Amino acid sequence: MTTVSRERRKLHGWGRTAGSVANIAAPGSTDELAALIAEAGQRGVIARGLGRSYGDVAQNAGGVVIDMRGVDRLLEFDRASGLVTVEAGCSLDALVDAVLAHGWFLPVTPGTSAVTVGGAIACDVHGKNHHRDGAFARHVRSLELLTPEGETITVDPEQQRELFEATAGGLGLTGIVTRATLQLVPVETASMLVDTERAANLDVLLTRLTSTDHLFRYSVAWVDGRARGAALGRSVLLRGDHATADDVPRDTDRLLRARGRRLSVPPHLSAAPFLRGRPLNAFNELRYRRARSGKSIETIDQFFYPLDAIGNWNRLYGAGGFLQYQFLVPFGAEDALRTLLESFTAAQPVLVVLKQFGESFGPLGFPAPGWTVALDLATSVPGLARLLDDADEVVAGAGGRVYLAKDSRLRPDFLARMYPRLDEWRQVQSTLDPEGRMQHDLSRRLQLVR
């Protein structure tokens, strides 16, 4: 076993709220991981990827944080079957770069490509195709887990179902995923065929999603978070699929990933005054009015990762930071959905997206059949703590939940109400980690681990 040097440094999530100081170790290979877990003291250890979780799930105050970015090799790629094996620190961005030219794409992708495969499994991330294809872990064919007790085991989703399901969405608390094998999906082009459609209000939106979402592999609605009254929930539906060879011009390299220009927000440049009030209203108005109904061709980066074009866009919220509140309410709880959207109109949400979820997965999985809404909110919004507590009450009352991987402020008393299979997960987790080595700020804040 080798000793990896550690650096004491402050970490925070993508929302730049409630940071904490940890001892950060950056191993270059999986061999060094076992030593780091074995040496975990009272404050425990957790793996961290690219730091895109909004809240405190990848920080560990006073403990050890393992920066997995150096453990990022692509180990195997079968161009015929689309099976790819990578180390956990490999980013989705690098993976797309490696496989797209050969006609393969990620089976599920979140709204940024700056996440690691390990993080995608630990948070069981979902994308615009959840209604059809489920979340990320459903496409994992095998993974290697370094358990909190230092054992390396290969986890098959069928053979070790309980362990696999507790790890997918287990927020890193069942051990460290060191490598994973994924089933990619075949694509003919690097382009997307996008269908744009406006919905004048929530009723129209939900009706359209219910009646026609099955026609599209990908579906998401951008919602004008400031529209109220009769216009509540007015939105732009963005749905589509990978473009086929016939959809794009013949003379181009169909599988070339064409990235646009990338900008980066410098430190201390705050756009907070423009992310509320009239400028925000004007932006939403423009976004809605400019949306043209019909089909168009976009690059995968435009369709899936529009915000990746602006590096460090989280800095735009200024020193106070922001949070993302993502909730789910089951089908049938549309009244609750309406109440929630209404309650947020005054809180100046900068970005609101809504989509349908399909089947649930695992005891701590977030998605379940129903409606999910994600709202970006500046933490400077007056009364935000109470507003979100009230929202939690409505969500829990409707049989829904909030997404823990993005959470930064849920109260622990809501946890069991929102995650009815929590004890089942705790059972598996505590058997794997009797010493309580795996810890993070969120696990302590929510008393997730007993």
Partner 1 sequence: MKDAVGRIQRVLVLGGGSEIAHATLAALLEDGPLTAILAARRPDELETAALERSGASIERIAFDARATATHGDVFERAFSGADIDLVLIAFGVLGDQQRDERDATTTVEVAETNFVGAVSALTHATERLRTQGHGTIVVLSSIAGQRSRRSNYVYGATKAGLDAFAQGVQLALADEEVHVMIVRPGFVHTRMTAGLKGAPFSVSAAEVATAIVEGARNGTPVVWVPRKLRWVAAVLRALPAPLLRRA
User: Where does this chain bind partner 1 (CB under 8 A)?
Assistant: 8, 10, 15, 17-22, 43, 55-56, 60-63, 321, 323, 379, 384-386, 388-389, 408-409, 411, 413, 441-442, 444-445, 447
Closest distance to partner 1 from the beta carbon of 267 (Å): 18
Closest distance to partner 1 from the beta carbon of 448 (Å): 12
Nearer to partner 1, 61 or 352 (CB): 61
Q: 330 Cβ partners below 8 Å, 6+ apart?
A: 368, 369, 370, 398, 399, 400
The token pair at 238 is 């963005």
β-partners of residue 195 are 239, 295
Nearer to partner 1, 62 or 399 (CB): 62
Nearer to partner 1, 166 or 275 (CB): 275
Q: What is the DSSP letter of 381?
A: S
Nearer to partner 1, 199 or 395 (CB): 395
The answer to whether 154 touches 181, Cβ cutoff 8 Å, is: no
Closest distance to partner 1 from the beta carbon of 39 (Å): 16
Nearer to partner 1, 22 or 47 (CB): 22
Query: Using DSSP, how many helices (H) and how many strands (E) does the chain show?
Result: 13, 21
CA distances from 197 to 154, 204, 219, 234, 306 (A): 45, 11, 11, 11, 18
Nearer to partner 1, 82 or 172 (CB): 172
Closest distance to partner 1 from the beta carbon of 435 (Å): 17
Q: 264 Cβ partners below 8 Å, 6+ apart?
A: 310, 311, 312
Angle at 120 between CA 88 and CA 161, to 5 degrees: 85
Q: 185 Cβ partners below 8 Å, 6+ apart?
A: 82, 104, 105, 106, 107
Closest distance to partner 1 from the beta carbon of 78 (Å): 43
Closest distance to partner 1 from the beta carbon of 225 (Å): 18
Nearer to partner 1, 104 or 344 (CB): 344
Closest distance to partner 1 from the beta carbon of 389 (Å): 6
CA distance 166 to 38: 22
The token pair at 253 is 């390299």
